[in-house]
Amino acid sequence: MNEGLFDLRDKVVLVTGASRGIGKAIAIGLAEAGANLIVCSHASSLKKTVSAVEKRGVQIMAVKADVSRKSDVTRMIDQVVNQFGKIDILVNNAGIFLEKPAEEVTEEEWDRIIDTNLKGYFLCCQAVSRKMIKQKSGKIINVTSISGLASLPNTAVYCASKGGIISLTKALAVDWVKYNINVNAVVAGDVATEISDDRDKDKIPMGRRANPEELVGTIIYLASKASDYVTGSLVTIDGGWTAQL
């Protein structure tokens, strides 16, 4: 187990969107740092994530929940507190992507993207904040995208949702600092996952996409006491992409 500033032993962490890709890598990394995990997914199986985390010798609970539904989020947080007695860290990661010309986007598509990517983050933040305010401590980490800072063609709705997460992070950091709750965001560039492709690789100064595991160190830092004086911050992990803007 890690020791010192980055030690997460006995911490209780909820990771949304943890069935694969970035969320799965984050869950495994946090477990290696000693944290007990609650992993959440709407539809995908969490079996692989659970199996990988269990090998690290920590406690894990899997919850099926749609983060865009307040009733699901409330139930999930209640389950966490009933099982572990507290919640120390929230990693908001659940999200969906839409690539489509803005003039062709339907109202239903707009609602689906915004409800999951932005409303879902807010509902999870709101629900855990009520527990963290009573504890007088907590760490919230919102995983967003460089699409919230710079746009690519035909991604208007997705960009709006990711930009909203950035603004939400800063606003909640200011509101909740008096409760000793840190709220920060990891702004990810192009990450190699099951649903990504290589088409924009030439735009990255490093010449490659990130591996999901390359986000984990920053997540652990923001979850640990090493970041106690950090709130309202954006940590960009993009291989230099936005440095060109």
Q: Which amino acid is at 236?
A: T
Who contacts 179 (Cβ-Cβ below 8 Å, separation ≥6)? 129, 132, 133, 136, 138
Give the active site residue among 121, 158, 179, 229: 158
**Domains observed in the chain:** 4-244 (3.40.50.720)
The pTM (predicted TM-score) of the whole model is: 0.94
- How many C-beta atoms surround the C-beta of residue 78 within 10 A? 12
Residue 202 is predicted with a pLDDT of 80
| CA-wise closest residue to 242 among 163, 147, 173 | 147
Q: Is residue 179 flagged as an active site residue?
A: no
Place of tokens 């950035």: 166
Residue 197 is predicted with a pLDDT of 58
DSSP strands (E only) in 88-226: 89-92, 138-145, 181-188
Task: State the Cα–Cα distance between residues 15 and 41, nearest whole angstrom.
Answer: 9
Rounded alpha-carbon distances, angstroms, from residue 238 to 2, 20, 148, 201: 26, 20, 13, 11
Rounded alpha-carbon distances, angstroms, from residue 67 to 63, 111, 114, 170: 11, 13, 11, 21
- How many C-beta atoms surround the C-beta of residue 245 within 10 A? 7
pLDDT (tens, 9 = 90+) of the chain, 245 residues, equals 445 889 999 999 999 999 999 999 999 999 999 999 999 998 778 999 999 999 999 999 999 999 999 999 999 999 999 999 999 999 999 999 999 999 999 999 999 999 999 999 999 999 999 999 999 999 999 999 999 998 889 999 999 999 999 999 999 999 999 999 999 999 999 999 765 555 677 889 999 999 999 999 999 999 999 999 999 999 999 999 999 98
